[in-house]
Amino acid sequence: MSDQRTLDLDDVDDLALGAVVLGTGGGGDPYVAKIMLREAIEKHGPITLVNAEDLDPDGLILPVAMVGAPTVIVEKFPNGHEAHTVLRAMEQQRGARGIAVMPIEVGGMNTLFPIAVAAELGLPCVDADGMRRAFPQIEMTLLTLAGISASPMTLSDVKGNYVYFEAKDNQTGEKLVRACVAQMGMLAVMSAYPITAKQCAQHAVNGSLSYCLEIGRRVRAIQEGGPDAYQELLDFCEAQILFTGKILDIERRTTAGWARGTVTLEHLSDPARAMRVEIQNENLVAFEDGEAIATVPDLITLIDVETGVPMTTEGLSFGQRLHVIAMPAHPRWITPDGLALAGPRAFGYDIDYAPLGGAS
């Protein structure tokens, strides 16, 4: 990519691969988002990727995301009007036209969706997001940590229902949006965190789309059988393979709007070793011998040993051989307020954050 970078058709598959890695099992399969992005590029041409710091500091950035159940989103994809509705409403509320679109999260389909929206609107996409991974709740962003309000938030569904929120805090905003999405057939498009380019440059994770794309390229190299490909991925992400095993058991349950589950793996070379990965939409904690060896907000990603395919939770199957890869979260998450917002206790686990150790 040059300084004036663009995303074109050749980047779509790599972006999607990176998005699954950063989605840590959640965030949904970007398959449909890939189709949507390809169509948008074929129709509107490559999307310009910009750095927030190169934009007019007072310019309005338009974050956008799908909200709902990933399984539903894959079946009932937004038709395009929703994003138009929520972003135009946001512009009207702010009294300004947006100068760029931005992903709120850079994991799962919400990585590709905002890029397609940018193409539709003829706007560039900011090379940034709010977390450098996927999280299931709207308030779990570095923007919240910076004291930036998620409100006003705008929400629209495929039927044209529209809701506008001004919540006093981002947790309440999450609850109100989630409650409405449940009445919208578990799928809606949201804009939130309207920020200026200056705020984006200061407080978002800048470079996260490039980061996602680079991860995707390295995963593709693994799939193409490059000899040092795994090591290059691990080096790039400062990641480590925690465990390599086959799935002995998958327990899935849906409770209170969460896709919860537990995946148990037996080590391929030492059957006495077992790993348990706890899931709430995303892979959140990896236990070995009852000890948490990797925890949220660090990223726990499962990659198929044979195919090099990074796995969403829905795609896991009994007997599958997987590398359990842990990669460090953005350093701003590994702070007291970051861990309070998105550490293990924020998800109801009665354990402390476990810093990632050396490579296993």
**Helix (H), strand (E) at residue 195:** strand 195-196
Does the protein bind a copy of itself through residue 164 (CB under 8 A)?
Answer: yes
* DSSP string covering 88-147: HHHHHHHTS-EEEEEES--STHHHHHHHHHHHHHT--EESEESSSS--SSTT-SHHHHTT
- Minimum distance from residue 164 beta carbon to a copy of itself (Å): 4
Does the protein bind a copy of itself through residue 258 (CB under 8 A)?
Answer: no
Written as six digits, the tokens of 52 are 């927030």
Does the protein bind a copy of itself through residue 162 (CB under 8 A)?
Answer: yes
The DSSP call for residue 307 is T
- Minimum distance from residue 267 beta carbon to a copy of itself (Å): 44
Convert residues 7-26 into a mask of x (bound to a copy of itself by CB under 8 A) and - (unbound): --------------------
Alpha-carbon distance 30 to 42, whole Å? 18
- CB-nearer residue toward a copy of itself: 29 or 157: 157
Written as six digits, the tokens of 341 are 């917002």
* DSSP string covering 312-336: -GGG--TT-EEEEEEEPPPGGGSSH
- CB-nearer residue toward a copy of itself: 151 or 210: 151
CA-based nearest residue to 180, from 154, 204, 198: 154
Q: Judging by DSSP bridges, how do beta strands 125-126 and 47-50 pair with one another?
A: parallel
**Contact with a copy of itself (CB under 8 A) among 95, 147, 160, 225:** 160
CA angle 222, 228, 230 (to 5 degrees): 50
- Minimum distance from residue 157 beta carbon to a copy of itself (Å): 9
Convert residues 209-238 into a mask of x (bound to a copy of itself by CB under 8 A) and - (unbound): ------------------------------
Query: Which segment (161-169, 251-259, 289-297, 326-334) binds a copy of itself by CB under 8 A?
Result: 161-169
Tokens 């939770």 found at: 313
Tokens 């840590």 found at: 24
- CB-nearer residue toward a copy of itself: 6 or 161: 161
- Minimum distance from residue 176 beta carbon to a copy of itself (Å): 5
Strand-pair partners of 63: 102
Q: Judging by DSSP bridges, how do beta strands 205-206 and 240-255 pair with one another?
A: unpaired
Does the protein bind a copy of itself through residue 159 (CB under 8 A)?
Answer: yes
CA angle 62, 64, 67 (to 5 degrees): 155
Convert residues 125-154 into a mask of x (bound to a copy of itself by CB under 8 A) and - (unbound): ------------------------------
- Minimum distance from residue 173 beta carbon to a copy of itself (Å): 8
Does the protein bind a copy of itself through residue 95 (CB under 8 A)?
Answer: no
- CB-nearer residue toward a copy of itself: 170 or 301: 170
- CB-nearer residue toward a copy of itself: 114 or 173: 173
Is the distance from CB of 20 to CB of 312 less than 8 angstroms?
A: yes
Convert residues 165-204 into a mask of x (bound to a copy of itself by CB under 8 A) and - (unbound): xxxx---x--xx--xx-xxx--------------------
- CB-nearer residue toward a copy of itself: 73 or 163: 163
- Minimum distance from residue 80 beta carbon to a copy of itself (Å): 17
CA-based nearest residue to 202, from 360, 55, 15: 55
Does the protein bind a copy of itself through residue 346 (CB under 8 A)?
Answer: no
* DSSP string covering 51-77: -GGGS-TTPEEEEEEEEE-HHHHHHS-
- CB-nearer residue toward a copy of itself: 184 or 329: 184
| Three-class SS state of 303 | strand
* Binding-site ranges for a copy of itself (CB under 8 A): 159-168, 172, 175-176, 179-180, 182-184
